[in-house]
A and B are shown apart, each in its own frame.
Chain A
Amino acid sequence: MASSEHFVAKVDDGFEVKVDAVDTTTPARSSWGDAWEYLRHRPLFYFSAGLLLLILVVVLFPGLFTGMDPKYCDISKAKLPTSGEHLLGTTLQGCDVYARVIYGAGPSVLIGVLTMLISTILGAVIGAIAGYVGGVLDAILSRVTDIFFAIPFILAAVVVLQMMTNVEGIVKIVFTLSAFGWTSSARMMRGAVLETKEQDFITASRALGLSKFQILVKHIVPNSFAPLIVLATTSLAGYIVAEATLSFLGLGLGSDTVSWGVDISNAQESLVTNPALLLFPSGALAITVLAFIFLGDVIREALDPKARQ
């Protein structure tokens, strides 16, 4: 009789099969491939990347955007308003504001990028060693990181810059900011390495006979790098602001340099009579910083699916 038979659904028909089904016809995507697939469809990514590309062109070829010399100042043309000849007017000394904004991009962006590269690499190396080797070395490196982290960033920079009065220019600032900027990336890298180290595929590669160093370079560092990229992008924005702040305190680039920070700090004096002088370099700086923050945000979402909304 039919009733004596137990009803068993055929395995092929169950919904579990459909849920577990893996489309094997398309090639597998790596986590970086997945991130790129996400980025490709985000307008914010194109917006920030396009903006940064434009800023990069301004930094590399400022001559394309203005025919004026930012250092040529004619005192008889002081404090002019916006006109055809002077797009954004002139400063107290009669320099062209537009030319200064264009040429001022170079030092600000260069300081930001160099500091970001040096402090991220330094921090990543220290953090990776601390996390991977562990033990006494980890304890020592972590305490050293704590020590550098505990001194307020701007205070430390002020003290170091005051000390290095005989070194000039961008190198001094990049050195100072990197010397105290690496701690966050070291902490983040250490945490990421500690987490990656415990995963099964690391045990597997050890079983396959890879040396400790090979595992670190081939598997642990690439897999711990994602959070660092986001931190690097946002910290770059922070370094650009820090350079402006140091110039404001009179410790950044010399006042004969054309940079946003120097121009912003020079504009304080004529804030009441001519606020435009403060507005344009600060605006250019804010747009650049914003572009890096946007890029950092969208990359974070791309690399961390949990952050996607």
Chain B
Amino acid sequence: MGRYIALRILQAIPVVLGTTLLIYFLVFAMPGDPIAAMFGDKQPPAGVVQQIRDNYHLNDPFIVQYFYFLKGVFTLDLGNAFNGRPIAELIGAALPVTAVLAGLAFVFEILIGVTCGIVAGIKRRSIFDNTVLIISLVLISIPTFVMGYVLQFVLGVQLKILPTTVGSNVDLLHMLMPALVLAGVSIAYIFRLTRGEMAQTLLADHVRTARAKGLTAKQVTLRHVFRNSLMPLVTYVGTDLAALMGGALVTETVFNIHGIGYLMYTNIHKGDGTVVVSVVAILVLAYVVSNIIVDCLYALLDPRIRVGKKVSSG
């Protein structure tokens, strides 16, 4: 197990390097001079421009700049944003907000998606199954931001049950609606996945054997059916955690939440590439770490899976 985890971490290194390099390249290929943008209409003195370019290593070759950035990531000294505040501080302030949002959305996904999926998988073609199936299709087919506006309008403006925007009130009550919106599409996919897997596993031979042995319906469902349906679910949930961080971009814009997505969005418009690259690097790290955790969960759930050893198909 230890060797397996070590291998997975080693494999993740090229992914982290490659992704940050790719994003770094894309961001700094953006047209426009960021220094000129800092001064707006005014013409800055040449000496000042030179000073700033030196501070940001803008005169060095691209790859050298990239290594300065990597060094910054590992020493947690990411430099300053164009507005003078340290980037590490900006991210430090935004990250907990997004973490609350994504965490709450994650809880919704598991609670609603998996529970509905299990019940619908067992009672296929029941009224419950059909209702939830239709709701899940609606959730998938409507863009997240439309869902956000509709809920804001119905729950916030008309019924006045929940607050419409978050702003500086980062608490559970204010985060409830944004988290539900962020989780929406994933709830639908998790529901469909769980339902399908449950229905397929229910037909397996070992489930019939378990029933024949005289186990109760609850024991069969949880121990023999659900546990064997877990694998695809773990895969989906693992990659989805990072997608939630990305989806936060849209949700945070709709609900005015000052998290990671909002930070990135505003700085893309400002042309402050250093902030954008740093934020994406954090998100990619989150994705890679959650993937390693998923792979370790695999090994726990299914002892056949080991890196480098082929599972015999027989």
Complex contacts, B37 vs chain A, CB 8 Å: none
Q: Give the docked Cα–Cα distance between A237 and B140 (Å).
A: 9
Please give me the residue from chain B that is nearest to A294 by CB atom: B137
A290 interfacial by beta-carbon distance below 8 Å:
yes
- B140, B144, B264, most chain A CB atoms within 10 A: B140
Q: How far is the CB of A292 from chain B (nearest CB, A)?
A: 9
Q: Give the docked Cα–Cα distance between A148 and B18 (Å).
A: 9
Checking B30, B124, B280, B288 against A162 with a beta-carbon cut-off of 8 angstroms, the contacting residue is B30
- B140, B141, B144, B200, most chain A CB atoms within 10 A: B141
Q: Is the CB of A143 within 8 A of B149?
A: no
Q: Is the CB of A241 within 8 A of B250?
A: no
Q: Is the CB of A245 within 8 A of B124?
A: no
Q: Give the docked Cα–Cα distance between A159 and B277 (Å).
A: 10
Complex contacts, A146 vs chain B, CB 8 Å: 14-15, 18
Complex contacts, A160 vs chain B, CB 8 Å: 26
Complex contacts, A268 vs chain B, CB 8 Å: 149
Complex contacts, A275 vs chain B, CB 8 Å: 153
B268 interfacial by beta-carbon distance below 8 Å:
yes
Complex contacts, B268 vs chain A, CB 8 Å: 158-159, 162
Checking A159, A163, A241, A244 against B31 with a beta-carbon cut-off of 8 angstroms, the contacting residue is A163
B22 interfacial by beta-carbon distance below 8 Å:
yes
Q: How far is the CB of A247 from chain B (nearest CB, A)?
A: 10
Q: Is the CB of B140 within 8 A of A289?
A: yes
Complex contacts, B287 vs chain A, CB 8 Å: 150, 152
A136 interfacial by beta-carbon distance below 8 Å:
no
Complex contacts, A152 vs chain B, CB 8 Å: 242-243, 245-247, 249, 283, 287
Checking B14, B141, B200 against A237 with a beta-carbon cut-off of 8 angstroms, the contacting residue is B141
Q: Give the docked Cα–Cα distance between A237 and B199 (Å).
A: 25
Q: Give the docked Cα–Cα distance between A245 and B15 (Å).
A: 27
Contact with A along B204-245 (1 / 0, CB 8 A): 000000000000000000000000000000000000001101
Q: Given that A282-B143, A293-B140 are known contacts, is A151 also in contact with B264, CB under 8 Å in the complex?
A: no
Q: Give the docked Cα–Cα distance between A244 and B148 (Å).
A: 14
A309 interfacial by beta-carbon distance below 8 Å:
yes
Q: Given that A278-B149, A306-B200 are known contacts, is A289 also in contact with B141, CB under 8 Å in the complex?
A: yes
Complex contacts, B196 vs chain A, CB 8 Å: 307
Q: Give the docked Cα–Cα distance between A173 and B217 (Å).
A: 51
Complex contacts, A147 vs chain B, CB 8 Å: 14-15, 18-19, 22
Q: Give the docked Cα–Cα distance between A148 and B287 (Å).
A: 12
Q: Is the CB of B249 within 8 A of A151?
A: no
B6 interfacial by beta-carbon distance below 8 Å:
no
A232 interfacial by beta-carbon distance below 8 Å:
no
Q: Is the CB of B143 within 8 A of A248?
A: yes
B284 interfacial by beta-carbon distance below 8 Å:
yes
Interfacial residues, chain B to chain A (CB-CB below 8 A):
14-15, 18-19, 22-23, 26-27, 29-31, 124, 137-138, 140-146, 149-150, 152-153, 157, 196, 199-200, 242-243, 245-247, 249-250, 253, 264-265, 268-269, 276, 280, 283-284, 287-288, 313
* Additional 15 contacts, C-beta under 8 A, given A152-B283, A159-B268: A143-B18, A147-B14, A147-B18, A147-B19, A150-B288, A154-B249, A158-B249, A159-B276, A244-B143, A248-B145, A248-B250, A271-B153, A272-B157, A282-B143, A290-B140
Give the top 3 A-B pairs by smallest Cβ distance, nearest first: A152-B246, A147-B18, A289-B141
**What are 28 A-B interface contacts by the 8 Å CB criterion?**
A144-B18, A146-B14, A146-B18, A151-B280, A151-B284, A155-B249, A155-B264, A155-B280, A158-B268, A159-B23, A160-B26, A162-B269, A237-B140, A237-B141, A241-B143, A244-B146, A245-B143, A248-B143, A248-B145, A264-B143, A275-B153, A278-B146, A282-B142, A285-B142, A285-B143, A286-B142, A290-B140, A293-B141
